[in-house]
Structure 1
């Protein structure tokens, strides 16, 4: 599905879910009761599509991997936290949701934009499992830091949630991934992965519709915050782009690695973060809505980044640096 199509799909899911919840509250409540099943389906699809065998490609690019990890798990979360604190100091639940959205790098669709920007897709594939494992391991720490005095969080509950909802499904998905790859053969299995990738946005849209259907009155009461949320996301994207340009120059990255670094810093892992947060912080629709709002601007932004990265044809055609 094209980037613009995903944004339209999410907007449609918000509108349909809100309409059902407002006009047919009983049906909206029923949709809310299906959230757990949809979450499990989404988690399974996300984990099943991760290609852990790509990790071997990272061994020859340790310098770049270290730079990307520093950016994605230290610098970018700090930028996101600062922007959310500055824009939404009086709305802590929205602030928590935005920080959660900002703190985790994408593990799927950023590769498509990297390819369009003539970036290093092979190295990007190696980043995916690293990013996914690290963000799940760091999630309890990040959550503790951003939810202090805002949302009561039990550390033991978070650990149990991650184990039951994510680490065990991750192990099952990895096992199924490897077994089906061996059973179907590489070519057929890649077609299966393509179908999984195509279905995932629709499952995300279903989850979004369920959230808005079950919580429409609470969310409508906060509709005036939409502009502030979008402003915070816009500022975040501008700041991460500038950081990517600075790091690319300081590290003397050639275009393929520069494009990959820019895209991995810009794209956020909203689907997984939404799933994790709904399991870890149930009954917090404002936190969940902030994560969803972030996705609305993300795809147009990634499309714009692709054009910015290709604005210098000569630089794009230079070969990548070794190692």
Structure 2
């Protein structure tokens, strides 16, 4: 087993360790928050670049060939899940920053560790890989509309262009560079190996991002601990509901077991660190949104441990082999 595979299998504990170390560092050295908050942006950009390089944009046309799986994934992620998120957010306290954090993180399907968990959970990694670029483009286009419908806030004051443009650059520049890297590496084995090595970066880089965020916002974490049961409850309800939705869509679409598993992981995982830059760019008083995103991502990671057992063994089991006499009939 390679070091990358070891990290991916144990990433939950890597991230939890990063949170603990960040909280301890922020408590012992309160002034470190100014430095770590500045460091979050370049590390986050590097994380997104490494992640996007593993998302072959050339597979976008292939994603449209399997219409049943694509339809189930898109309807689930962009029609049914938004309704579920709106319902769940109604159970949250009437706190704009809290609700915005929940909306930001729960409305966008994952485009990074979703592939890893699909593979570990005996899903169809090829279809997972082909789906990710489509899901990324759609979520970036649709998220403003979802927020406009569901968030009862003054967007002009919260998402001021002067504050948001760094977050846009942190997402868009790595995406463009990753696309250029894909072109650069095409049909050159040495360059393809360079890109393959970049696949080992996301887990450690994500751990560094979590550590930096925890260090920079340890004060807000302490002040918002009372929100933890709320965020955990909504995140767990989301994970459980996603399993039901995946099963229903899998049955309606008559998806084979491997594709059903991929669908379950797609609906259950969210794109925490695509939306984190936007949460970090919010004005003073909205820090809770970023804390909520980090909290949700940790709950999700523990949820994925359960998914890895439940999805292939219970939700989408392989069909039982026919008895020997039936095989020859």
Match of 2:325 in 1: none
User: Which residue of 98, 111, 124 corresponds with 2:128?
Assistant: 124
Match of 1:133 in 2: 137
CA contact (8 A) 1:14 1:212 kept: yes
Match of 1:55 in 2: 60
Report which stretch shifted further, 144-153 or 200-209: 144-153
CA contact (8 A) 1:46 1:272 kept: no
User: Which residue of 235, 238, 242 corresponds with 2:237?
Assistant: 235
Q: For 1:317 and 1:278, locate their aligned partners in 2 and report how far apart those are by CA, in whole Å.
A: 52
Match of 1:143 in 2: 147
Per-residue Cα deviation, 1:185-235 (whole angstroms, up to 9, x for no partner): 2xx555434432322122222222222222211220111221221111101
Structure 1 residues 112 and 38, CA gap change in structure 2 (3 angstroms): closer
Match of 1:249 in 2: 251
CA contact (8 A) 1:255 1:316 kept: no
Match of 2:272 in 1: 270
TM-score (norm 1): 0.86
User: What secondary structure is seen at the aligned counterpart in 1 of 2:313?
Assistant: coil
- The alignment covers a number of residue pairs equal to 313
2:36 is the alignment partner of 1:24: no
CA contact (8 A) 2:171 2:274 kept: no
User: What secondary structure is seen at the aligned counterpart in 2 of 1:25?
Assistant: coil
Q: CA deviation at 1:161?
A: 5.0
Structure 1 residues 261 and 39, CA gap change in structure 2 (3 angstroms): same
2:294 is the alignment partner of 1:289: no
Matches within 5 A, 1:60-209: 60-86=65-91, 88-149=92-153, 152-154=157-159, 156=161, 160-161=165-166, 164-182=169-187, 184-185=188-189, 188-189=190-191, 191-209=193-211
2:41 is the alignment partner of 1:36: yes
CA RMSD for the aligned pairs?
A: 2.6
Q: For 2:240 and 2:130, locate their aligned partners in 1 and report how far apart those are by CA, in whole Å.
A: 26
Q: CA deviation at 1:126?
A: 1.0
Q: For 1:314 and 1:174, locate their aligned partners in 2 and report how far apart those are by CA, in whole Å.
A: 36
Report which stretch shifted further, 68-77 or 305-314: 305-314
CA contact (8 A) 1:3 1:299 kept: no
Please identify runs of 4+ aligned residues in structure 1 that moved more than 6 A.
none
CA contact (8 A) 1:92 1:150 kept: no
Q: CA deviation at 1:41?
A: 1.7
Q: CA deviation at 1:159?
A: 7.6
Match of 2:224 in 1: 222
Q: CA deviation at 1:51?
A: 0.7
CA contact (8 A) 1:121 1:260 kept: yes
Structure 2 unaligned blocks of 5 or more: 1-5, 323-329
